[in-house]
Chain A
Amino acid sequence: MAEDYKGYRGKALSTLKNFGAQVWSDVEIETTKGNYKGIILPRSETADQFHIVIKMPIGYNIGVAAENVTDIKIRGRKEAHYKIPEKDFPRDPSKPNVKLLGTGGTIASRLDYRTGAVIPAFSPGELYGSVPELATFCNLDTEKLYGVFSENMGPEQWVGTAEAIGREIEKGIDGIVIGHGTDTMHHTAAILSFMVQDSPIPIVMVGSQRSSDRPSSDAALNLMHSVKTAADSDIAEVMVCMFGPTSDYYGLLHRGTRVRKMHSSYRSTFRTIGDIPIAKVSREEITPLRQDYKRRRKDRNVTINTAFEEKVSIVYYYPNMMPDIIDSLIDNDYKGIVIAGTGLGHVNKPLYPSLKRAHEKGIAIYMTVQTLWGFVQMYVYDTGRDMMELGVIPAANMLPEVAYMKLCWALGQSNDPQKVKEIMLTPIAGEITEREPSNGYLIYQGGLPEVEEFIAKYVK
């Protein structure tokens, strides 16, 4: 019944029921203001209860006030079948085999009438139907692991994805692509970098900033770049593959532990922080920007370690933060805290007693910087030294989200503070670097003549 009047409530619902006009009915609605012809569409659940939505023959939708409706004549029914033409993916034994694991996100999507938003849709044949170019790179198989929005990814999905990667490697796949929503892609990239170690093949995370229901979507090109990378590249690491510039031009391959989403909506939102990306990728070629990456191997050896402790929090420090923030974590049995401190890694004095109490209770506390770029350095000022004495451990230049993920993983393996510290401070996948190259921090300031000259000269 609910499906028959999908999304309708109150006056609108009673009006539709009164005339027996279900969703997808082709109708003629008579109102006190005029008559309308069209198909009754489901209504977004967040929209009001006073209007009936119809799609008119010219394709536009309008909302008709239910209170003005005097009659609804039902002429027929036309239900939408949103279906991307499905075609069998061609197979070519001379091409590498790539597996696309789906977790959700907007890489492929369709419309949800209840929320009015796009929801993820993932099916193997659909991908070939909408991006046939993929067949030039590889033989593609897909598996839908999950269908969740990026923000709903959690330990269950991370563990499951890591295990799926292990299975695929064992089976002999040449490269793995993981479709993922972009909001938390860098979180997942980080945890997979820890859970999957010494992979012999590329593991490429990809998503889109514009859903594939838009003609200028970045989804198709991102997908091509990621599949190309998984099939052809010799980079055997967990990477994020997304637009370099905002233009449909090339993608960048970012190391999974150094990448971060830096703009809420730009296509070129992902940036390598404090370092440079591993490579540039176009449909034609992969151009490494550095040489210190792990190479592809023929063997099938990989270590999957899915240890995970959920009681870890990240605290974004602000001036005037009260100690009760830390206290509540202590009282709720948290086992680890990552602080994103100001400057070189600071918090205010009033927090000290609480930090001390946390330390004494055995809670692991690690300091990162909310400036994102740069190292934690707690020796420069006395406050830093004081904090270290309280048991706060500087986490070098680990990004706050990466430190969070790593602490979850480390605490999942051991409760011994020394052991945890050893895991935390031993770089595994580039999460801590020995040095920051001078081109690792580049946020150009618009308005300066030399910057404007650069922008004018190169495709953005």
Chain B
Amino acid sequence: MKDFLFKPFEEMTEKDYETIGFKSGLEIHQQLLTDKKLFCRCPAGRYSTKYHAEILRHMRPTLSELGEYDGTALMEFKTKKDIIYRINRDTVCTYEMDDTPPFLINDDALDIALQCGLLFDCSIVDELHIARKQYLDGSIPTGFQRTAIFALDGKIPYKNRTIDIVQMSIEEDSCREVSDQGHTRVYVTDRLGMPLIETVTGPNMRTPFEVAEVAEICANIVRSTNKVRRGTGSAREDVNVSVEGGTRIEIKGVPKINRIPLLTYYEAMRQWNLLRLREELHKRGITKDTFQASSEDITKIVKKAHYLPVRNAIEQGLKIKCVVLKGFAGLLNWQTQTDTYFSKEISDRVRVIACLTTIPNIIHSDSRGDNLLSAEWQNIKRSVNGTDSDTLVIVWGNEQDTDMAVKEIIIRAKEATIGVPSETRQALRDGTNGFERILPGADRMYPDTDLPPTRITDERINKLKEDLPEKIWISNEWYIKLGIPEDTINDLAISKFNKLFKFLLSELKIDPTLAAVVLIQFPKRLEKMKFDTSLITVEMMKEIFRAYKDGLLTRDGIFIAMQKSITKGKFYSELLPKPVTSKELEVIISKSEEEISAMRLFDPDKRKEILLGHTMNKVRMTVEGQIVKEKIFNKS
């Protein structure tokens, strides 16, 4: 193993990441903007934690199509959870409850998905087959997610190389977890069944920052369709990370792209440190074959302990068991991530698999914290025949859960002699991550016998291509060449006006900078003024620009016309003041002069500037400032 110690996040260089063989890929989930859900006709995108009824389900593993049980499925079955779904009748029907078979796939959703596939340069599959992907955690009441691959083998340019798009699938969204305590897990179902796409990239990213950058690019590509949802929770990333000699680990549900760099850094660190731990174990002569562990019921031995969790356990009549990890002394304090140690790997497994969810759920003899007294530890050590080179792990709970916990502690400790176990892990707030479940494999896929395959015809694809925005890397290059303000470039690419922008330049010959400023910056200014800019439509802006082109509006007038159009709900020419002739302008100027003469000016030298401002207030929409300025300043 390479001799490398992790540095703080800020000090890690590209070279460092190369040294550890950092590799990362993304699975990007993006909700599609449809009125209805994917396999039923419930409304999509209505979030509420209010519920009218609850149903209870249990999940059992089933066989895959090729006749094998999936590892994750068996793990989830071991946990034996009561799963409660909260049902809001306004957002959920009997389909989501799994009491009605699916309806045919939502064609609007499929069209949007296909467009996204085309934007990633994928080849679209000829025939869509809906699969059931098992999720025994209960996040979907059926126990599986309906999902189908619709696109394969795409690519996007990045730096001087390309990022592979391995595959894209369209699928129904899952429930949101409310709580998970002991043997009861509770979900709300409002998000359940909403259409989303999953885009899987190759493991082509080489540093944590590249991962975030590519995530951002991918997000922008799908947003450029303007048919995907935006806002909290509408896009979620799963990030796959591995280091040399490590394992592909999936960090699930990263809600914000800016959290990716730290999360991937910490995962790389965890893997690297687990590999170092393996090295240390091997040095101690502990391998997968020589690994030894034993366990014993120590309820009687600790019955007088003062440590509160143990004392409570005794009072509740729970079992207390001790696992002896032979030769592990000190290693539960082996650092895996900043302020996180190998003991956390074990505690996580006990929490998730044995359902001992009250933390701390284990204590161990490597800890210097205040739990048991050292005399008590000595006493236990004697009774379980431990030595100073061993580590003792103590766990408590009802008999069944404690037995399960003992098994998991031994399993996880043994895995340390092998390397980094295949898992999916959940992103934690501080950038570190925790165990979620054993990584599921292809065995959890099963064809959905409730729905027929769907042919995707060339006619359909061609029609969708006609309505496709420019690929963002092409449009961005073009924007740069046009010299539009830098801060409008990215926003324009993903704006609902991206196609209009092209039209304005080619058909109406509008100045690119003006078009970009009006389409991107004006709405932002209007938003600050509390206008509802979602009411600005492409048609509206087309009309406004036509008026501008016909000389009926000034630059400033565009802004005012937008305000008026929002208020009226649409643009019509009556919103415009009558055009002002040169003569009329002169009359307006002289009238303004009279008005100003009647005022006492604070700064008489600025008389002409004041006159200009005063006049402009009256003719801003229809006369360009330059013309008024010339009239006023050239007069005398």
Instruction: Give residues in A with beta carbon < 8 Å to B.
Output: 33-34, 36, 44, 46-48, 50-51, 53, 55-65, 68, 78, 80-85, 110-111, 116-118, 130, 210, 212-217, 220-221, 245-249, 263, 265-267, 452, 455-456, 459-460
When C-beta atoms are compared, the residue in chain B nearest to A43 turns out to be B453
A56 to B143, CA, bound (A): 22
Residues of A contacting B144 in the complex (Cβ-Cβ under 8 angstroms): 214-215
Q: B52, B57, B97, B445: which contacts A59 (Cβ < 8 A)?
A: B445
Q: What's the Cα separation between A117 and B169 when bound, in Å?
A: 23
Q: Does A62 lie within 8 Å of B129, measured CB to CB?
A: yes
State A33–B98 Cα separation when bound (angstroms).
37
Q: Which residues of B contact A64 (CB under 8 A)?
A: 125-127
* A residues in contact with B52, CB < 8 Å: 452, 455-456
Instruction: Judge if B444 is at the interface, Cβ distance under 8 Å.
Output: yes
| C-alpha gap A82/B67 in the complex (Å) | 4
* Contact, CB under 8 Å: B127 / A459: no
Binds A, one of B145-153, B216-224, B236-244, B590-598: B145-153
**Does B136 lie at the interface of the complex (its beta carbon under 8 Å from any beta carbon of A)?**
yes
Residues of B within 8 A of A51 (CB): 126-127, 453, 455
Among A59, A80, A245, A265, contact of B131 (Cβ-Cβ < 8 Å): A59
Let me know if B61 is at the binding interface, CB within 8 A: yes
A245 to B84, CA, bound (A): 14
CB distance from A387 to the nearest CB of B (A): 39
**On chain B, which size bracket covers the interface?**
35 or more
The answer on a CB contact under 8 Å between A65 and B131 is no
In whole angstroms, how far apart are the Cα atoms of A36 and B151 in the complex?
12
What are the residues of chain B within 8 A of A455 when measuring CB–CB?
52-53
**Interface set, chain B 441-468, CB cutoff 8 A to A:** 441-447, 449, 452-453, 455
7 pairs from A and B in contact (CB 8 Å cutoff): A58-B167, A58-B445, A59-B133, A214-B132, A216-B142, A248-B56, A248-B57
Q: Which residues does chain A contribute within 8 Å of B125, judged by CB atoms?
A: 62-64
How distant is A314 from chain B, measured CB to nearest CB, in Å?
Answer: 27
A111:B53 contact, CB within 8 angstroms: no
Say if the beta carbon of B627 comes within 8 Å of chain A.
Answer: no
Residue of A nearest to B442 (CB): A59
Contacts of B94 in A (CB 8 A): 265-266
**Considering the chains assembled together, what is the distance between the CA atoms of A266 and B123 in angstroms?**
39
B442 CB → nearest A CB, Å = 3
Chain A min CB distance to B141 (Å): 6
Expressed in whole angstroms, the Cα–Cα distance for A216 and B145 within the complex equals 12
CB–CB B149/A60 < 8 A: yes
- Binary per-residue interface labels of chain B (483-506) against chain A in the complex, 1 for a CB within 8 Å, 0 otherwise: 000000000000000000000000
Please indicate the chain B residues that have their CB under 8 angstroms from the CB of A63 in the complex.
Answer: 125-129, 453, 455
Nearest residue (CB) in A for B141 is: A216
Interchain CA distance A217-B65 in the complex, whole Å: 16
Once A63-B129, A215-B61 are accepted as A-B contacts, the answer to whether A247 and B66 lie under 8 Å apart by CB is no
| CB closest chain-A residue, reference B126 | A65
CB distance from A107 to the nearest CB of B (A): 14
Give A456 to B148 CA distance when docked, in angstroms: 35
Q: Is the interface of A mostly helix, strand, loop or mixed?
A: loop
B447 touches A215 (CB 8 A): no
* Cβ-defined contact, A247 with B152, below 8 A: no
- A325–B65 alpha-carbon span in the complex (Å): 47
Chain B, 48-83, contact with A by CB distance < 8 Å: what is the 0/1 string? Answer: 000011111111111111110100010000000000
Excluding A34-B153, A55-B65, A248-B57, 20 further A-B contacts by CB distance (< 8 Å) are A47-B453, A48-B455, A55-B445, A58-B167, A59-B64, A59-B131, A59-B443, A60-B129, A61-B131, A62-B149, A82-B65, A82-B67, A117-B449, A213-B446, A215-B60, A248-B56, A263-B99, A265-B101, A456-B53, A459-B55
Cα-based distance from A46 to B453 in the complex (angstroms): 10
Is the CB–CB distance between B67 and A81 below 8 Å? Answer: yes
From B127, B169, B443, B452, give the contact of A60 (CB < 8 A): B169
Assuming the A-B contacts A63-B129, A111-B65, A215-B143, are A57 and B58 also in contact, with contact meaning beta carbons closer than 8 angstroms in the complex? no
B449 with A459: CB separation less than 8 A: no
> A80–B65 contact, CB under 8 A?
yes
Q: Does B617 contact A (CB under 8 A)?
A: no
Contact of A460 among B55, B63, B132 (CB under 8 A): B55
The residue from B63, B73, B135, B444 contacting A82, defined by CB atoms under 8 A apart: B63
A36 touching B67, Cβ below 8 Å: no
Chain B residue nearest to A454 in the complex (CB): B53
Closest 8 CB pairs of A and B: A63-B127, A215-B143, A59-B445, A59-B442, A65-B126, A247-B56, A61-B129, A216-B143
B100 at interface (Cβ–Cβ under 8 A)? Answer: yes
Most central of A36, A50, A62, A212 by chain B CB within 10 Å: A62
Find out whether the CB atom of A65 lies under 8 angstroms from the CB atom of B56. no
Given contacts A60-B169, A216-B141, contact A247 B57 (CB under 8 A): yes
Contact A217 to B99, CB < 8 A, known contacts A59-B442, A59-B445, A117-B449: no
B interface vs A, CB < 8 Å? 52-67, 69, 73, 87, 94, 97-101, 123, 125-129, 131-136, 141-144, 147-149, 152-153, 167, 169, 441-447, 449, 452-453, 455
B99 in contact with A246 (CB, 8 Å): yes
Q: A111-B65, A215-B62, A456-B53 are in contact. Are A62 and B446 (CB under 8 A)?
A: no
Chain B residue contacts of A265, Cβ below 8 A = 94, 99-101
Minimum CB–CB distance for A400 against chain B, Å: 25
**Bound state CA distance, A55 and B56, in angstroms?**
34
**Alpha-carbon distance A210/B98, docked complex (angstroms):** 9
> CA of A81 to CA of B129 in the docked complex: distance in angstroms?
21
Q: How far is the CA of A247 from the CA of B141 in the complex (A)?
A: 11
**Docked complex Cα distance between A215 and B140 (Å):** 10
Q: Give the Cβ gap from B447 to chain A, nearest Cβ, in Å.
A: 6
> Which of the residues B56, B97, B142, B153 comes within 8 Å of A215, measured between beta carbons?
B142
Q: A245: nearest residue on chain B (CB-CB)? A: B55
User: Does A459 contact B56, Cβ atoms closer than 8 Å?
Assistant: yes
A214–B152 touching, CB < 8 Å: no
A46 to B449 Cα, complex, angstroms: 12
Q: How far is the CA of A353 from the CA of B131 in the complex (A)?
A: 57
Q: Does B131 lie within 8 Å of A60, measured CB to CB?
A: yes
B447/A61 in contact, CB under 8 A: yes
A266 to chain B, nearest CB (A): 5
In angstroms, Cα B87 to Cα A427, docked, is: 43
Q: Which residues of chain A have C-beta atoms less than 8 A from B149's C-beta? A: 56, 60, 62
Shortest beta-carbon distance, A123 to chain B, in Å?
Answer: 14
Are the CB atoms of A215 and B129 closer together than 8 Å? Answer: no
Partner of A220, one of B60, B127, B131: B60
CB distance from A119 to the nearest CB of B (A): 10
Q: Which of B97, B129, B131, B132 has the most CB of A within 10 A?
A: B129
Distance from B25 Cβ to chain A, minimum over Cβ atoms (Å)? 13
Contacts of B73 in A (CB 8 A): 215
Contact of A248 with B58 at beta-carbon distance under 8 Å, contacts A116-B447, A456-B52 already known: yes
Give A452 to B88 CA distance when docked, in angstroms: 12
CB-CB < 8 A to A57: which residues of B? 442
Closest to B129 in A: A61
Closest-CB distance, A74 to chain B (whole angstroms)? 18
Looking across the interface, which residue of chain B has its beta carbon closest to that of A267?
B99
Given contacts A48-B455, A60-B131, A214-B62, contact A116 B57 (CB under 8 A): no
B131 near A118 with CB under 8 A, answer no
